[in-house]
Structure 1
Amino acid sequence: MNRLMTFDKYRVFETEFAGRPLKVETGKMTQLANGACLVHYGDTTVHVAVTASPKPREGVDFFPLSVDYEEKMYAVGKIPGAYLKREGRPSEKAILTSRVIDRPIRPLFDKSMRNDVSIVCTVMSVDLDCSPEITAMIGASIAISISDVPWNGPISGCSVGMIDGEYIINPTEAQRAVSKMATTVASTSTRIAMIEAGADCVTDDEMYNAIMAGHEANQKIIKFIEGIKAEIGKPKFEFASLEPDHDMFEAIKAFAEEDVKVALDTDDKTVRDERLKPIYEAVHAKFDEIYPDSEALIDECLYKTQKFIVRRWLLDEQKRVDGRGMDDIRPLAAEVSVLPRVHGSGLFTRGQTQVLTIATLGPVSDKQLLDGIDGETEKRYIHHYNFPSYSVGETKPSRGPGRREIGHGALAERALVPVIPPVEEFPYALRLVSEVLSSNGSTSQGSICGSTLALMDAGVPIKAPVAGISCGLITEGERWMTMVDIQGLEDFFGDMDFKVAGTKDGITAIQMDLKISGLTPEMIKEALAKTHKARNYILDEVMLKAIAEPRKELSPYAPKMYTTTIPAEKISEVIGKSGKVIKEIQAECEVKVDIEEDGDYGKVFVSGIDADKCNRAIEIIKTIAIDPEPGAMYLGKVTRLMDFGAFVEIAPGKEGLVHISQLDVKRVDKVTDVVNVGDVIRVKVMEIDEKGRLNLSRRQVLIDVDGLTPENDVDTERKPRPRRPFNERRNNRR
């Protein structure tokens, strides 16, 4: 006998967030996961599932957490392109969202856990007014909270915009288009857990107030999640901690501490690594027999010994491993025009961190087309970041950019977008590539500085130079302290990497990575103040001394770009049937022509190496789009020669006669004495007869433009003879 399935554990929880309904469903779907929920925010729907392995993964010295944000094209009613017609590798936006969700969640897991944990957020429906990224973050927090996976959450996240000085929580699509910032804030019940921001040069106070507005808004959702957890949350499972035994750690620390102090006390990473090698060998020689089959745990104890020393130096002695003060920046250097034939290049060095950025300019049609679930369809400024293994002295094959590289490239892109001139002022697509040559802390901020140098070297008229710097943090109970320009060791052993980029006037980007549960408002204020002072120092003392302003001229190897507008109804004439006209223009002038319709007008972009040929293409297009009038001048191509003159095509399909008397300021006996087929000459429209035929003059151009004087023997009264109808000419010959 068949029975209908019932869902006894099905629950629905509802609240409101920023004026829109937030609904959570549990107990109906995904019953084999450790925890799952379906979250609706407006008409945006995200399914989140959390699973954990029953046993720890062997041979790892980290917590194996994976967060995946999956965009499904059906969520916006699209069928994926390409041959397979299904979703492929995650988009860059999806990877960045995965990182944003991962960062506030990860520190709230026990660091000693080695069980694999997987969080999968699947976007199933999208309402562009209700962010799927924020919905996924809230869903992940709910799914982990109600699961049996040990976790010290919950968290909540929101986006903050600013319009006319007013802060908007979770702005709509229309509000995002005019907002001065896009700041994502994640919070626990007491602290700020994550910040990711892009902004149009906002002040420190404006950014701080936005962060606090987001933190306050998150508290309502945190209480909502705690209520769900109290009602249906599972008991958390026990796990085997793979932390080294306390006695083992104390024994190894006592044996190696003084030697490790000597090894760490240098500003050279290479020297430090060389000093540590014999210490590792000595420790293993002594303790491998005492703790058999514990090689990884012994290495972990040595790592913790280094961490203990660095943190004690900072907290107790205000001492940094390289001898700097807490607010001192490592030695700096900046250089431009490093590479000879590229369009622009900038080399930025901070201590042992070194980044070379190359700028490439291209026609607007080289912009990147995006096929995702949000409203963004294209971008003309692209930033890529590469982190080869040699930059840290390792030997690994290159496997393409990972999540970290994509994230750092996106951060540098976000930092510089606000200063890139609009396409109307600078009609180019731009691609910047940052090659990390050496890494010892904060290469992402080095790539921002190198990119500013490369853009200015390329002659891009950026609104203001941008610099980036990071701020670190060490905490112990209620004690805490910050330091500027953290190097690798301070990043590994510290609690925070607070990256801030901006101009002298304001912030353009923030990315905050934490290893603790969150920051207090005081910590954020101090980090903003210190990074502001530091980036101004970098700009004044190094970058602007290397290049004070963007070059006035583009590289000779960069394409020349010209733009004009034409009436929208004339676009089809410029393109021609099957693209015939535009292809002829491109072939004749050796240029590339792109046209974009924008309301009542068409934006025309012409790019090429030769400026004269670009101008010729622009003139041809204008001639097609705007009917010639008497007095107008054009560059035209001689197409036919007759005894009585030359026919000149000023645009495809628009041809006129230059009578022999109008070819030169002196008398001309033969047309070929002045022009030949294929010559390009400038002509002036003298007359348009009743049949629309053009009478052109080269002679008048020479007089009006070149200032030549007609010779006395020129018959200035000789007029072009009217062309009679064919039938009349035939009758006269009879």
Structure 2
Amino acid sequence: MFENFKVFETEFAGRPLRVETGKMAQLANGACMVRYGDTAVLCTATASPKPREGMDFFPLSVDFEEKLYSVGRIPGSFLRRENKPPEKAILASRLIDRSIRPLFPKDMRNDVTVVCTVMSVDQDCSPEITALVGASIALSISDIPWKGPISAVSVGLIDGQYILNPTSKQREQSRMAVTVSSTAERIPMIEAGAKIVSDEEMYEGIAFGHEENKKIVTFIESIQDEIGKVKFTYEAVHASDEMQKDVMDYAGEAIKAALDTNDKNVRDARLEPIYDDVFGHFAEKYPDSEKQLDECLYKTQKYIVRRWLLDEQKRVDGRGMDEMRPLNAEIDLLPRVHGSGMFTRGQTQVLTALTLGSASDAQLLDDIGEEKEKRYMHQYNFPSYSTGETKPSRGPGRREIGHGALAEKALLPVIPSQDEFPYTYRLVSEVLSSNGSTSQASICASTLALMAAGVPIKAPVAGISCGLITEGERWMTMVDIQGLEDFFGDMDFKVAGTKEGITAIQMDLKINGLTLAMVKEALYKTHKARNYIIDEVILKAISAPRKELSPYAPKMMSTQIPVDKIREVIGTGGKVIHQICDECDVKMDVQEDGHIFVTGLSYDNLKRAMTIIDTIVHDPEPGAIYNGKVTRLMDFGAFVEIAPGKEGLVHISQLDVKHTDKVTDVVKVGDIVMVKVLGTDDRGRLNLSRREALIEVEGLVPENNLSEEQQNRRPPRRDDHRPGRPGGRPFHREHE
């Protein structure tokens, strides 16, 4: 039935890689099922036969589709089906897009769609890497014009040894997670997260991954040689050479003068009449060609900027190649938020606000990954006003999600552990003005917000981008690229990290790849710039994380109890934990390992809640003092509950430091009173004393207030008290 069914097999990082073609999705231009271990991803590539009308860029769409049946789970949505893609799937789509896009013809306008459907997941064999390799194979064997193949590999670092495509357990131990996409000669995409690794370690890891990719590229080429289709010819959509020359000759000098400023607003204002003039001047010679003329004007600007950089080492705003724009950092701009910081670089400006929450505020994840929740969230917003444009807000797109994830990856290595600082974090970076490198500005602004909030981060993190201009064998890099250098240049190499090392990398490329020499220079230049930002800008705005939290931030204490005591703290139907929360005005999060996190706005309330938990878990020790609630009154005394399920008798003789005739003269039901534990009787009942607590805490002078009549009314209980059960209270921390 499947006459064209073929199977190709090789080894990839020590595990079997199997490619099946000619069986599934046979109507696509190219399709394959890629099996890596037990991970299975169906990858397809399709293209429209004709270019899309009115399109002035290459319309590529990449979708990484997560199916929860691949990990044996039912979706958690109301409809119990996959809805919009989770952030992890969007990030995987961007990863594939950035790897394959540079290798398509720049003048093609046919729609191309690449879909990678994850159908089975082996957590030791990354579905993202499998999909990237599968996308490369589907495009290579299709008739779609593309200059591949590429391969991709994930590189880890454990005990000084580089690991290819690390397993789930190895990923937990690894100091880096670097995805490298490459052809046999060049590297078109790098995405990295790292636990503060050196430039040398990062460079060697990238080179190590590139070597493995060469083997898989050779494997894909063998598949292409055997079953690959002839690439179709397409209708190139671009302005004629004659039109380009006419526009360059007519408006080149005017455009050059307009571009020569460091102010984006001035530049845009200067260019607007030039555009109108060009459209009017060539309306008769080139009728109905406004889009083509617009393209010629774009290419003219690009030519001028690139010639300045390559021939004159001149940047649009007059800076040197390794000189950054004017920098500024501020904190505490928003008085009621838990932490805020604003970072300005030239005309790029980002304000980050930090909110601290309890453990229950962590984000629940419903995707194919192993992680079920995360306590650190970073979100990035890019409103239209930041570029001086007007358009309705439609919520975060793929770009915003990607930039937020990059900032999250950059800062996560310096966030204190849950034991050290058990808060949930939500950082929101608002782009107020954009002229290049907003994602890196959001990292700097977020460092300021964290330090201003009093989060004890391990070290400040800064981000900076490096650009690239190439022409044949000539190339040069420049630090801190602004908008025009990004638009007209060949690379946006973003690197974030501390002074000690790298925490994140994201590389966007417009050419077919970098050499290792280009990678090394970009790492060196960004490290030098990063150190300057930290020393001269961030640390001058705030020298260290504050010692205290904002008065508007929740306060937190934590403790760990024996697992077999969790049921007592929660109570039947949550009765006990709800009672504690209501009485103390706090929130409590109880984890499976016995960790308890108590959150509230008052340290007094937190301490009260911690004391109640301590009392539930451990027998009250003689001499301990508690605040308890009066629950019942008898002629001979009052019963006081010092914790849910922990009630004791305060005999009438122990109610006050002075003589007491009636219990109701001193207390009533519902009163909160301070009591001291005297001990327990032979039946395990608590004996409490308000009198002793008042003497010890408030220093009141006692009177002999036990009359003979009262002694005769005293219930038959033992006078001697067995000592409380030995053992310490659970350790708890105050997080201020």
TM-score, scaled relative to structure 2: 0.95
Task: Confirm or deny: 8 A CA contact 1:659 1:720 kept in the other structure.
Answer: no
Deviations 1:318-355 (A, max 9, x none): 00000001111111111111011111111111000000
1:617 aligns with 2:612: no
**More displaced, 18-27 or 565-574?**
565-574
Aligned to 1:520: 515
Match 1:384 to one of 371, 379, 386: 379
Task: Confirm or deny: 8 A CA contact 2:625 2:675 kept in the other structure.
Answer: yes
**Distance apart, 1:192 and its partner CA:** 1.5
**Distance apart, 1:298 and its partner CA:** 0.3
2:620 alignment partner AA: P
Aligned to 1:281: 276
Deviations 1:500-549 (A, max 9, x none): 11111111100000001111111111111111111111111111111111
Aligned to 2:488: 493
1:561 aligns with 2:556: yes
Deviations 1:60-93 (A, max 9, x none): 1100000000000111111212221111101100
TM-score, scaled relative to structure 1: 0.95
Match 1:628 to one of 620, 627, 634: 620
Aligned to 1:134: 129
1:159 aligns with 2:179: no
Aligned to 2:725: none
1:694 aligns with 2:697: no
Q: Equivalents in 2 of 1:721, 1:136: separation in Å?
A: 83
Residue 513 of structure 1 aligns to a residue in which SS?
strand
**More displaced, 265-274 or 452-461?**
452-461
Task: Confirm or deny: 8 A CA contact 2:41 2:118 kept in the other structure.
Answer: yes
Deviations 1:397-440 (A, max 9, x none): 00000000000000000011111111111121110000000000
Residue 334 of structure 2 aligns to a residue in which SS?
coil
Task: Confirm or deny: 8 A CA contact 1:196 1:511 kept in the other structure.
Answer: yes
2:546 alignment partner AA: R
Task: Confirm or deny: 8 A CA contact 1:619 1:635 kept in the other structure.
Answer: no
Q: Equivalents in 1 of 2:521, 2:627: separation in Å?
A: 63
Q: Equivalents in 2 of 1:627, 1:41: separation in Å?
A: 56
How much is the aligned-residue C-alpha RMSD, in angstroms?
Answer: 1.7
**More displaced, 618-627 or 131-140?**
618-627
1:644/1:394 CA distance change after superposition, 3 Å: same
Aligned to 1:450: 445
Q: Equivalents in 2 of 1:226, 1:719: separation in Å?
A: 100
Q: Equivalents in 1 of 2:72, 2:654: separation in Å?
A: 63
1:723/1:199 CA distance change after superposition, 3 Å: same
Aligned to 1:411: 406
Q: Equivalents in 2 of 1:704, 1:540: separation in Å?
A: 53
Aligned to 1:639: 631
Aligned to 1:441: 436
1:320/1:713 CA distance change after superposition, 3 Å: same
**Distance apart, 1:638 and its partner CA:** 2.3
Q: Equivalents in 2 of 1:296, 1:307: separation in Å?
A: 16
Deviations 1:433-490 (A, max 9, x none): 0000000001000100111111111111111111111010101111111111100000
**Structure 1: segments with no counterpart, 5+ residues:** 1-5, 726-734
* 1:184-583 pair list within 5 angstroms: 184-583=179-578
* 1:599-618 pair list within 5 angstroms: 602-618=594-610
Q: Equivalents in 2 of 1:716, 1:233: separation in Å?
A: 106
**Distance apart, 1:673 and its partner CA:** 5.6
Q: Equivalents in 2 of 1:87, 1:704: separation in Å?
A: 63
* 1:48-67 pair list within 5 angstroms: 48-67=43-62
**Distance apart, 1:281 and its partner CA:** 0.8
Task: Confirm or deny: 8 A CA contact 2:615 2:643 kept in the other structure.
Answer: yes
**More displaced, 663-672 or 198-207?**
663-672
2:315 alignment partner AA: R
Residue 456 of structure 1 aligns to a residue in which SS?
helix
Aligned to 1:170: 165
Task: Confirm or deny: 8 A CA contact 2:636 2:714 kept in the other structure.
Answer: no
**Distance apart, 1:661 and its partner CA:** 3.1
Q: Equivalents in 2 of 1:446, 1:457: separation in Å?
A: 17
Q: Equivalents in 2 of 1:357, 1:720: separation in Å?
A: 71
**Distance apart, 1:265 and its partner CA:** 0.5
Match 1:44 to one of 35, 39, 42: 39
1:639 alignment partner AA: T
Q: Equivalents in 1 of 2:668, 2:462: separation in Å?
A: 57
Q: Equivalents in 2 of 1:59, 1:526: separation in Å?
A: 40
Q: Equivalents in 1 of 2:595, 2:712: separation in Å?
A: 39
1:114 aligns with 2:109: yes
Aligned to 1:182: 177
Percent sequence identity over matched residues?
71
Q: Equivalents in 2 of 1:151, 1:634: separation in Å?
A: 75
Aligned to 1:652: 644
Q: Equivalents in 2 of 1:716, 1:292: separation in Å?
A: 115
Deviations 1:601-621 (A, max 9, x none): x11111111221121111112
Q: Equivalents in 2 of 1:721, 1:701: separation in Å?
A: 23
Q: Equivalents in 2 of 1:361, 1:341: separation in Å?
A: 12
Deviations 1:618-647 (A, max 9, x none): 111221122223233333222234444332
1:678 alignment partner AA: G
Q: Equivalents in 2 of 1:179, 1:96: separation in Å?
A: 21
